[in-house]
Structure 1
Amino acid sequence: MKIATPTQLSRIKQTLKEQIESGVMQTRQKLPSERELSELFSTTRITIKEALVALETEGKIYREERRGWFVSPERIRYNPLSRSHFHQMIRDQNRIAETKLVKVRSEMAAGEYSHALKLSEITQIHIIERLRYIDGRAVLFVENCLKARLFHGILDETLTLSLTTLYKEKYGYETHRSHFDVIPTAAPSHVAKALNLTEGQPVLKICRVNYKQDGEIMDCEFEYWRPDAVMLTIDSAG
C-alpha cells in the first residue's frame, strides 16, 4: 500500500467524521479495527492512525486501552466558575453521574500539592482520589488535597458525595474564591489506569485552588479529564 497524501488523509478523516455526524455510527459504538479500516480505505495503518488521532483531538472519537476506538458522546459543558457540584452539573444536562472512591491517604505535603496550597511549613494533608463517570463511562479522575488541620474527622465521612456540601454542612466553610490553571498534558500512569487510557495519552488537567471565607486556602483539586468528554464554558453569571 502507498503512503497517503495529505489530501487522502483529509478525505479519510472527513469520511469517518460524516459517518459519525450523520448517525451511521452511533454514540459509544466501536469503530472497525485499524487493520479493517486500512483495508477499507486501501491505505496503511499509520495513515489510519493519523486520521483517528485527528478525530480524537476534535472530540469525535475516543480510545480505550486494549479495546479500540469508540464514537464519543456529546461533550459535557463545564463552567469552572459555577458553584454547582459535579452530580448536579451532570443532571442539569440530562446525563447520569456516578462517583467512586479510589483511595484516601494522609501525608506531608510536597511537590505540586505544596505548591498549589502555597505552603511555607511542613503541613499534613489528606488526599482523596475519586473516579467520576458520565453515563457509565469513566471520564474524570480527581485528587482533592485538603489541609488536615481544617478537616478533622473528614475521612470518616461518605466521600463519594459532594465535598463542597460537606465542607459547608460539617465545617461551615464556603468557597469565597477559586483560582484555576488549565493545562493540556499527558496522563500519568495512575490516571491512565483509572481512565482506561494508555500512559502518556492526552488529558485535560485542571488545577483548582479554593479559598474559604477568611481568605485562607483550604484545599486544592487536580482534575484529569478525558478531553473528548468536556468543553469549558466560562460564564461569570454561572
Structure 2
Amino acid sequence: MRDAAPRAVTAICRALEEQIEHGLLASGSQLPAERKLSEVFATTRITLREALSQLEAQGLIYREERRGWFVSPARVAYNPLVRTHFHAMVAEQGRVPATEVLSARLMPATTEICQLLDLPGLSSVYQIRRARRIDGRLVLYVEHYLNPAYFPGVLDFDLTRSLTDLYASEYGIHYGRVRFDMVPTALHTEAAAALKVAAGSPALRIVRVNRDQHGRLIDCDLEFWRHDALHVSVEVPE
C-alpha cells in the first residue's frame, strides 16, 4: 500500500506527458479542474497535486493563481551575446510580445543598486517596473534602474516601448559593454504577484548591468523569468 501513491503519481505524469507530447493537450491550453482530473485518474487530490507539481517542475505545465493549470508553451531562446531587446527577440521567434508598466518613479537607490551602478550613498535612481508577456502569458517581471543623470525626463515617455530604442532615439545613447549574472531563484512577493503565481515559485533571476558606447554605467535590470519560459542558448564564435 505504501507504494501505491508513488506509482499513481508516476502513472499520472506519464499519461499527461504523452498527451502533451502528441498534441492531445495543446500548448497553452487549460487542463480540466483538479476535481475532474482526480475523477479521470481515480485518485485523490493530494496524489494528483503531487503529479502536477512534478510536471510543473519539469516545465511541462504551469499554474496561475485563481485560474488553474495550463500546458506550457514552447520556451523562447535567449542568447545573452546577441544585442537585441525583448520585443524584437520574441517577435523574431514568431511569438507575440507585450509589455505592461507597473510603476515608474524616482526613488532612493538601494545598497545593491548603488553597488551595481557605482553610485555614492543617498543617490536617486529612476525605477521602472514592468511585466512582460509572450502570446498573452505572463513570463517576465523586470525592474529597471536608470541613472537619472543620463535620462532627464524619461518618465514622460511611453515606457511600454523598448528602452533600447528609447535611449537611442531620445538621448543618443547606445548600449556598449554589458555584464550578466544568472542564478536560479524563488520569486519574491512582488515578482510573484506581477506574474500571478505563488510567492516562492521557481524562477531564473538575470541581473544585467549596462554601459553605453562611452563606457559609462547607465542602467541595470533585475529580471525574473518564469523557469519554464526561457531557454538560454549561447554560441561563442571562433
TM-score (norm 1): 0.92
Matches within 5 A, 1:70-89: 70-89=70-89
Name the counterpart of 1:149: 149
Q: Partners in 1 of 2:168 and 2:81 — Cα distance?
A: 18
What are the ranges of 5 or more consecutive residues in structure 2 without an aligned counterpart?
Answer: none
- Give the superposition deviation at 1:222: 0.9
Name the counterpart of 1:206: 206
Matches within 5 A, 1:34-73: 34-73=34-73
Name the counterpart of 2:221: 221
Q: Partners in 2 of 1:29 and 1:139 — Cα distance?
A: 16
Matches within 5 A, 1:1-238: 4-236=4-236
Of stretches 167-176 and 189-198 in structure 1, the one that deviates more from structure 2 is: 167-176
- The residue type paired with residue 224 of structure 2 is Y
- The residue type paired with residue 181 of structure 2 is D
Q: Partners in 2 of 1:4 and 1:171 — Cα distance?
A: 64
| TM-superposition CA deviations, 1:175-201 (whole Å, max 9, x none) | 211111112212222221211111222
TM-score (norm 2): 0.92
- The residue type paired with residue 184 of structure 1 is P
Would the aligned equivalents of 1:130 and 1:142 in 2 still touch at CA under 8 Å? Answer: yes
- Give the superposition deviation at 1:2: 6.8
Question: Between Structure 1 and Structure 2, how many residues are aligned?
Answer: 237
Q: Secondary structure at the match of 2:155?
A: helix
- The residue type paired with residue 107 of structure 1 is M
Q: Partners in 2 of 1:42 and 1:112 — Cα distance?
A: 51
What are the ranges of 5 or more consecutive residues in structure 1 without an aligned counterpart?
Answer: none
Moved over 3 A (4+): 1-8
| TM-superposition CA deviations, 1:47-105 (whole Å, max 9, x none) | 22222122112211110001111011111111122111111111111111111211101
Would the aligned equivalents of 1:123 and 1:147 in 2 still touch at CA under 8 Å? Answer: no
Q: Partners in 1 of 2:170 and 2:133 — Cα distance?
A: 26
Q: Partners in 2 of 1:61 and 1:22 — Cα distance?
A: 15
Would the aligned equivalents of 1:187 and 1:203 in 2 still touch at CA under 8 Å? Answer: yes
RMSD between aligned residues? 1.9
Of stretches 168-177 and 218-227 in structure 1, the one that deviates more from structure 2 is: 168-177
Would the aligned equivalents of 2:8 and 2:47 in 1 still touch at CA under 8 Å? Answer: no
- The residue type paired with residue 212 of structure 1 is D
Would the aligned equivalents of 1:3 and 1:44 in 2 still touch at CA under 8 Å? Answer: no
- Give the superposition deviation at 1:3: 6.5
- The residue type paired with residue 191 of structure 1 is A
| TM-superposition CA deviations, 1:136-188 (whole Å, max 9, x none) | 12211111100111111111111111111222222222221111111221222
Would the aligned equivalents of 1:20 and 1:26 in 2 still touch at CA under 8 Å? Answer: yes
Would the aligned equivalents of 2:139 and 2:195 in 1 still touch at CA under 8 Å? Answer: yes
Of stretches 117-126 and 143-152 in structure 1, the one that deviates more from structure 2 is: 117-126
Q: Secondary structure at the match of 1:20?
A: helix
Identity of aligned residues (%): 46
